[in-house]
Each structure stands twice: as structure tokens, then as C-alpha cells.
Chains A and B, each alone.
Chain A
Amino acid sequence: MPDFNPIRTIAIKDIHDTLRDRFILIVTAFLGLAATVALVSGAIALRGDLATYEAAKATLLAIGKSVDGIKAPEFYPLRLLRGAIEQIEIIGAAVAILVGYRAAAAERGRQTLALILTRPLRNWQFVAGKMLAGFGLLAAGLAVVLVGLALVLHLTSGVGIGANDLARIAIVWGVALIYTSCFFLLGFVLTLHMKQPSHALLAAFAVWLLLVLIAPQIGDTLDPDNQVAGGVFAQLHIAKPDQTEIMKRFASFESLRNGIEVASVTKHFERFTFAILGIKATYAGMAIGPILTEMWSNLFWILLTALGLACLALALPLNPNRLAKA
């Protein structure tokens, strides 16, 4: 039975130490602020739509007409989280890389690793302790951001959120934790094993650029239907069966385009969270169960990426000579 005491001791120390790091706190606060701004602007628009509907209804009732003629708009307050999800995708991943970088670079810079590795603990216990602290910090940071957003959403949208919405937010929290953990582990593993920590940070951000910003955009940019504003098919008034027929001729191109998109863990995260929150119109109003059934492969890939990186972190042997240098 492995001894978990060293893992817990290292994790508690690391959390304690990181919470005193102003830079990490400022960057996390920035993520919260960016997500809140995105949410509030959407909420104001939603509140405007609701007010317009209520005013129209009141006018009709005032002149003695039926309100059956105007259809009540469908309000999905969770859709307002789109901007926040995009911030977690981009800034959240960047913060996670910084937390991972810090977890390793802090020991290298201070040369405290030699003091830790001459204690009766195995190298994997040191790595596991660092990982546990990282996951704990990300979990707490995301929880604060998402709880804050839920509160702002409830207060500003004018629609209010219920238990079902909270359950969806909780699922998003869990998936966001696994997603950001991938980037934490990326920053951590590279910083722990590359010759220069600064080079590791650059390499981690190069991967971040590719996975978070470039690969997901390639899908949209290369989508034939996206080449004209409003959609090529819609502008040419081509019916759905004809669209399908046309796209069959581009099957190989579509496979390649989709392949590039799904090579990015970010795209899987986006697809999953957009479905759960009903941001993608197809899933708006759908129950959680069927969405999970349909989107499980996205969740699987995010989990597989995180697990792969975690196993790599635990399995790679530490090089004390290299780690003794800042």
C-alpha cells in the first residue's frame, strides 16, 4: 500500500505556497473578470429581449387583444455562458500552464528539490503531490469562477436558473477541471524535464497556441459553408437534402477538416460544454442524459489526454542534476 502522507504534505505545502503568489492570483482574477464581462454583456442583451417581449405583451393586453399572436421567446440563460466557456478554453488553459510551470520551476529555481529528494519518499510521490496540488488549485479556481458566474447569471439575466441548470454547470466544472488539468500537466511535465524552464514555458505556450487557437479555428475557416457570411448554402437557397448530396463529394476534405479539429482537446471541450449548456442550438432544451450519451466520446478524449499526461509525469525519471539548476 503506497504511503500517501508525503503526497498530501507536498500538496498542502504547494497550495499554501501558490496562494501567496500574487502573479497567479492576479491572472486567475483576470480570468474571472473576463468571463464575468462576457456573461454580463450577454445577460444585458437577454434582459432587453425579455423586456421587449413583456412590453409587447402588455401593449396587446392594454388594447384588449390576445397575446396568442406573439410567441414567447425561448430563454436559455445558460447560453449566456458561451463567452465564459471561451475564456476558460483560452485563458483558463493559459493559467493552467502557468500553474504547472510554477509547480516545477519553483523547486528548480529555489533548488529545494535536493532537500525533498533526500527525504524518505519516492520520486513519483513528489510528482503526485505536485499534481494533486495543481488539480486542487484548478478545481478551487474554476469553482469560484463558475459559482460567481451562476450567481451573476441568476441576478442579471432576469430569467433565473434552476436545479437543472446548476447540475449542468456542475458537469461543466468537472469537465473544465479535466480540460485545464491537461494544460497544467503539459506545463508541469515540460518544466520538470526540459533543460531550461524558460524554454519549457515557451514550448508549452507553442502547444497551447496550436491546440487552443489554431486547430479549432482551422475547422471553421475551412468549412465550405462558412466561406460566405450567413452560409453559402443559405445564401444560395439550397435545400438540406441537396446540401447533403453536395457535401458527399467533399467527404475526404471533410474528414481531414474534422480530423484537424478533433486533434485539439479544446475542440472536444467546446463541443461537450456547448452541448451541455445548450449553446449549440441542436441541444437546447435536451435533457442531460441524452446529451451525455451523444457527447461521451468528447469527454473520453479529454480524459484520455489528461490521463496520458499524468501517467507520463509519474513515469518519467527525475534528473537531479538537471533539476538542481534554475
Chain B
Amino acid sequence: MTDPMINIVRLSQEFEGFIALDALTMSIEKGEVFGFLGHNGAGKTTTIQMLTTLARPASGTASIAGHDICADPLSVRRCIGYVPENVRLYDTMTAAENLIFFARLSGVSEPKRRVAEVLDLLDCADLSAVRVGGFSKGMRQRIGLAQAILHQPQVLFLDEPTSGLDPMGIKMLRDLIGRLNTDFGMTIFMNTHLISEIAKTCTSIAVLSHGKLVYHDRIEAVTARYGDDAALEELYLSLAPQGRLAEVA
């Protein structure tokens, strides 16, 4: 049995007395595409912020590829890529300039060559010399994904990656995630609201409600038990009540 790629142990976060995440414990195996579901303010983004070392947990810990997020954040940062919900880049710089900057920060040895490679991979080489100030949401999302995979991370964190995208954009992103997972073996950790995407993209899911983990299973077990997307939606709604939508930053 190999060690899990992401191992979370009693991870908790608190903001001025409000418990945003309550002793979350779970593990995600290498090569999984993990879907993290939950209502607004359930603690999904808070979890990603701690796993990506952007915020320190109030208590508990987690490890990514064997590196502890509190004790060794730099090693964690070397193995992860992160795409926030709203990708905002440097508007006055071109897509390539933005990506070369992030490649250099990630210690990529030949940034220009690697940027060209990644832009080709994401089928957006034509955007290379264009300033990102004029980009649509979908184009920004693609460049956002490009910056996250420049250093070939083992784990890719995506926070609401399909938020604000049109159906074409959603399909494009789903295909990309699939390719990154199958062709490059990346483990994907994805926060999402879209139930329909879960069955098409994920290999396992978990549901968070008011900071507590209420469900975690492999997608085959979920579909075997609940069947189609509509039933999956019923499951989600029953587990993640919308009564108290505390917006947690």
C-alpha cells in the first residue's frame, strides 16, 4: 500500500471565533481526480488555502506527496500547482510574459521553451504575444491553468475552475483536466459546485457541510448507489443544506 498523495489529519481553521473547517480528516490517492463539494462558506476554499500553504491551519495538519504543509511548506509548493477561482494575471503583460515570470519563480530551467510547450499543450499558442488585459474569462482560465502546470506539479488544486465559463469553456477545461490526469499522472483536487461535472471528471468525491466532512467515497460507489446525475444532486442537497450560507473569505 503506497502513501496517499494528500493526507489530511484533523485539519481545522477558525476566523474570529467562527469555525470554518472542523477537524477534516481524509486522504486522496495518487492519480485521483478528486471533487470537493459543498455549499458557499462550507470551507472548501479554506481547505485549499491551507493545503496550498497560503494559510496556516489553526490546528491539525496535512501532507502533500509526503511533505508536511506546516513543517515544510517550500517542499509542498514545489509539488503543487494552484488555479484560484478568478484567475487574474498582470494585464499589462502578454500571456507569455506572465507565464515566463511564473516559470522563473517556480525554478523552471528553460522558461521560454517550457512556456511554448505548455501553450501548445493547452492549444493556446496564438495567445502568447497578446496582453492578458483583453482576455475573456475562458482565456484567462486557460492561461491560469498554464501557469499552474509549468513546473509539472504532482498535485493540481483547482478552486471552482468552471465558475463563470460557458458550456464550451467547461468542456474544454474538463478535457484538459482529463489529459493532465491521464497523460501526466497529475493528482487533481477540485472544488466545485457543478454536480454534472463530478460524474464526468472525478474518480472520488467528498461533501463538506458547515466545515464538517459529511461524505467521502469513490465515484463508482456513488454512481452504483445513486445512479444518474439527478440522484447525485439529491444526495448533495441532502448532505449540504443551504440554510446558513456564511461567506468565509
Question: Which residues of chain B come closer than 8 Å to A112, judged between CB atoms?
Answer: 88-90
CB contact under 8 A between A9 and B105, given known A17-B93, A112-B89: yes
Decide: A110 near B91, CB < 8 A? Known: A118-B80, A122-B74. Answer: yes
Closest 10 CB pairs of A and B: A20-B92, A320-B54, A110-B88, A119-B105, A9-B104, A118-B82, A120-B77, A111-B88, A120-B78, A118-B52
| Chain A CB within 8 A of B49 CB | yes
For A118, give its contact among B54, B86, B88, B101 (CB under 8 Å): B54
Inter-subunit contact A114/B107 (CB<8 Å): no
> Quick check: A10 and B105 within 8 Å, CB to CB?
yes
Residues of A within 8 A of B102 (CB): 115, 119
Complex: how many Å from CA A16 to CA B80?
Answer: 27
How distant is the Cα of A111 from the Cα of B75 in the complex, in angstroms? 23
A1-27: which have CB < 8 Å to B? 5-6, 9-10, 13, 16-17, 20-21
Alpha-carbon gap, A5 to B15, bound state (A): 35
Instruction: Give which listed residue, A20, A110, A111, A119, contacts B77 with CB less than 8 A.
Output: A119
Residues of chain A lying within 8 A (CB to CB) of residue B147: 115
Please indicate the chain B residues that have their CB under 8 angstroms from the CB of A140 in the complex. Answer: none
Residue in B closest to A326 when the chains form the complex, CB atoms: B88
Interface string of A308-326 (1 = CB under 8 A from B): 0000000000001100110
Task: Pick 25 A–B contacts, CB within 8 A, sort by A.
Answer: A5-B104, A9-B101, A13-B101, A17-B93, A110-B88, A110-B89, A110-B90, A111-B88, A112-B89, A114-B54, A114-B84, A115-B82, A116-B105, A117-B53, A118-B77, A118-B82, A120-B74, A120-B75, A120-B106, A120-B107, A121-B77, A320-B49, A320-B54, A320-B55, A324-B249
Determine the distance from Cα of A10 to Cα of B101 in the docked complex, in whole angstroms.
8
Interface residues on A, range: 20 to 34
Give B89-124 as 1s and 0s: 1 = Cβ < 8 Å from A's Cβ atoms.
111110001000110111100000000000000000
Residue ranges of A at the interface with B (Cβ–Cβ < 8 Å): 5-6, 9-10, 13, 16-17, 20-21, 110-112, 114-122, 320-321, 324-325
Q: Is the CB of B90 within 8 A of A325?
A: no
**Which residue of the partner chain B has the closest CB to A111?**
B88
Inter-subunit contact A321/B93 (CB<8 Å): no
Considering the complex, give the chain A residue whose CB is closest to the CB of B249. Answer: A321
Contacts of B82 in A (CB 8 A): 114-115, 118
Which single residue of chain A is at the shortest CB-CB distance from B54?
A: A320
Contacts of A325 in B (CB 8 A): 249
Min CB distance B49 to A, Å, is 7
- With a cutoff of 8 Å between Cβ atoms, the chain A residues found around residue B52 in the complex are 114, 118
Residues of B within 8 A of A114 (CB): 52, 54, 82, 84
> How far is it, in angstroms, between the C-alpha of A324 and the C-alpha of B55 when the chains are bound?
11
CA distance A320 to B15 in the complex (A): 13
CA A5 – CA B106 in complex, angstroms?
A: 10
Max count, chain B CB within 10 A of own CB: residue among A119, A122, A321: A119
- Chain A residues lying within 8 Å of B104, measured Cβ to Cβ, are 5-6, 9
With A and B bound together, what is the CA distance between A136 and B93 in angstroms? Answer: 20
Smallest beta-carbon distance B96→chain A, Å: 13
Q: How far is the CA of A4 from the CA of B54 in the complex (A)?
A: 21
Q: Closest B residue to A322 by CB, please name it.
A: B249
Let me know if A16 and B93 touch, CB within 8 A: yes
Residues of A near B53 (CB, < 8 A) are 117-118
Bound together, the chains give a CA A115 to CA B81 distance in angstroms of: 9
Is the CB–CB distance between A111 and B84 below 8 Å? yes
A76 to B15, CA, bound (A): 63
- With a cutoff of 8 Å between Cβ atoms, the chain A residues found around residue B15 in the complex are 321
Min distance, Cβ B241 to any Cβ of chain A, angstroms:
26
Q: How far is A13 from B104 in the complex, measured between Cα atoms in Å?
A: 11
Closest to B107 in A: A120
Partner of A21, one of B74, B89, B92, B101: B92
Please name all residues of chain B whose beta carbon is closer than 8 Å to the beta carbon of A121 when the two chains form the complex: 74, 77, 105
Distance in angstroms from B131 CB to nearest chain A CB is 9
Q: Are A115 and B84 in contact (CB under 8 A)?
A: yes
Whole-angstrom distance between the Cβ of B68 and the nearest chain A Cβ: 15
| Closest residue of A by beta carbon distance from B15 | A321
Residues on A with beta carbons closer than 8 Å to the beta carbon of B54: 114, 117-118, 320, 324
Within the complex, which residue of B55, B77, B80, B91 is in contact with A321, where a contact is CB–CB below 8 Å?
Answer: B55
> Would you list which residues of chain B between 17 and 62 have a CB under 8 Å from chain A?
49, 52-55
Nearest CB to that of A21 among chain B residues? B92
Interchain nearest-CB distance for B108 vs A (Å): 11
* B185 CB, nearest partner CB in chain A, Å: 20
A159 to B75, CA, bound (A): 63
